[in-house]
Amino acid sequence: MILSQGQINQLNPDRIREEAQELWELCFEDSPEFIAFYFGKVFKPEEAYIAHSADGQAIAHIHAKRYPFSLGTPRQANLEPSALPQGFYVSGACTRPEHRGQGIMRDLMIHTMQAEAMQGRILAFLIPADNELRSYYKKHFGFMTNNYLHSTNSPESASLDYEADSSQGSAYSSVVDFLYHTEQGKAQAGIRRERADWANICTEYEISPQASIEVYREEASENILACALIRLTERTIFVDGIFGTPTYRRRLLQRVQSAYPQYELRIVLSQASSEQNQTTPRAMIRPLRFDIFLLEYQLLYPNEEIKFSLLDEILPQNTGDYCITQGEVSFTAGKTEYPQMSIPEFVTRFIPEYEMRFLHE
């Protein structure tokens, strides 16, 4: 098997796109409209990893979609997405049917993690196709469930889900600008998207016959006061995100309910709430740079002293002794003299739940 990636092998970007799209269409049942949108707007050849057989046929693919990440510390609160560290999302992982069960995707995943770590990405994250795969990703790659789908059928709970955001009192008539600035104003750790990413999300909701974007505007100026991204199923309205200040979120949800009185309302929350009534495991993460997370952690807890050893078989440069003491983080490569900590234990101990909605699953 030959592993290739656009930047490394300098393959023609059009060829990379064609091979990735062929595998996607073979393995997934997405509509032609979605495929045209994804490979026209979202897909970037330089983020693609493709495994080839000895005769040159493309047999497996991963799109390592890169996202800026805020780790939730004060010094990152006002940074633009371009100034934040990046992680990558495992999107479109697929293997040609006749080549499945041969360990090809496992090798491709390891290759992708190693290459992305070398390029500076600090973590990988994915959403398993089913919950039975969680133990596989944990055992073979060190992924750990970090993100949950929190939801409620209470508009009141959803209207209080977010802190007052930076869009309050500002003038945004564009949905993309409103969503971008709202996300930038949040303190919660998680993905921070560029405007282009929000534009793609909006396009996806606009082209889907089962989805829409609902807005509540100020009458005089047409400025947006609240915005909801919704999907309709046979009996349920899923509000995938509701943005704005509490008063206007509540009014917008009331409008949505009135428009679809025969549907059950289900609202996805940005984080756990004492009033939620449903929580489902969702995204798993895998650190690629452990020191970055420890540096941010010690800023939040400067008086803690912690010593541990970590073994990373996929990224051996991470193996060694880690020490947090007197507000500083030190790392000694290769040594394992302290109590052992596994990668999933590291995630549980040092990394808060990240906010990661609106990912292609």
Residue 131 lies in a domain: no
Domain co-membership, 114 together with 159: no
Q: Contact, 237 vs 266, CB < 8 A? A: yes
Domain end (from 238, 255, 281):
281
**Using CA atoms, how far apart are residues 308 and 80, in angstroms rounded to an integer?**
33
Same domain flag for 259 and 343: no
- Determine the pLDDT at residue 50: 94
Residue 143: inside a domain, yes or no?
no
Mean pLDDT of 346-356: 91
Query: DSSP letters of 25-93?
Result: HHH----HHHHHHIIIII--GGGEEEEE-TTS-EEEEEEEEEEEEE-S-GGGTT--GGGS-EEEEEEEE
Sheet of strand 320-325: strand arrangement: 306-310, 320-325, 328-333
Q: What is the total count of domains within the chain?
A: 3
- Listed residue (205, 243, 207, 202) closest to 224, CA to CA: 243
Pair (243, 260) in one structural domain:
yes
Is 270 domain-assigned? yes
For residue 129, which of 27, 239, 22 has the smallest C-alpha distance?
A: 27
**192 and 75 housed in the same domain:** no
Angle at 271 between CA 269 and CA 273, to 5 degrees: 80
Last residue of a domain, one of 245, 261, 281: 281
Of residues 167 and 310, more confidence is placed in 310
Looking at the domain assignment, is residue 359 inside a domain? no
d(CA 172, CA 159): 20
Domain match, 264 and 336 both: no
- Report yes or no on 50 lying in a domain: yes
Give the list of residues 6+ apart from residue 272 with CB closer than 8 angstroms, or none.
Answer: 148, 150, 279, 353
302 and 239 both lie in a single domain: no
Question: pLDDT category, 322, cuts 50, 70, 90?
Answer: very high
CA dihedral 133, 135, 136, 139 (to 10 degrees): 160
pLDDT greater than 70 at residue 245? yes
Predicted confidence (pLDDT) at residue 9 exceeds the cutoff of 50? no
In a domain, 192, yes or no: yes
Tokens describing residue 141:
């790659």
Rounded distance, CA 333 to CA 61, Å? Answer: 32
pLDDT at 77: 74
Q: Which domain holds residue 289?
A: 284-350
Residues 274 and 292 in one domain: no
- pLDDT band for 283, please (50, 70, 90 cuts): very high
For the cut 50, the answer to whether the pLDDT of residue 265 exceeds it is yes
The answer to whether 53 and 79 have CB atoms below 8 angstroms apart is no
Report the 10 Å Cβ neighbour count for 274.
5
Same domain flag for 329 and 275: no
Is it the case that residue 8 has pLDDT exceeding 50? no
Across the range 80-109, mean pLDDT stands at 95
In a domain, 129, yes or no: no
| 156 and 40 within one domain | no
Whether residues 39 and 100 share a domain: the answer is: yes
Give Cα 176 to chain centroid, integer Å.
Answer: 18
Identify the band that residue 161 occupies on the pLDDT scale cut at 50, 70 and 90.
low
Count the Cβ atoms, other than its own, within 10 Å of residue 250: 19
Q: What is the mean pLDDT of the chain?
A: 89
Residues 265 and 153 in one domain: yes
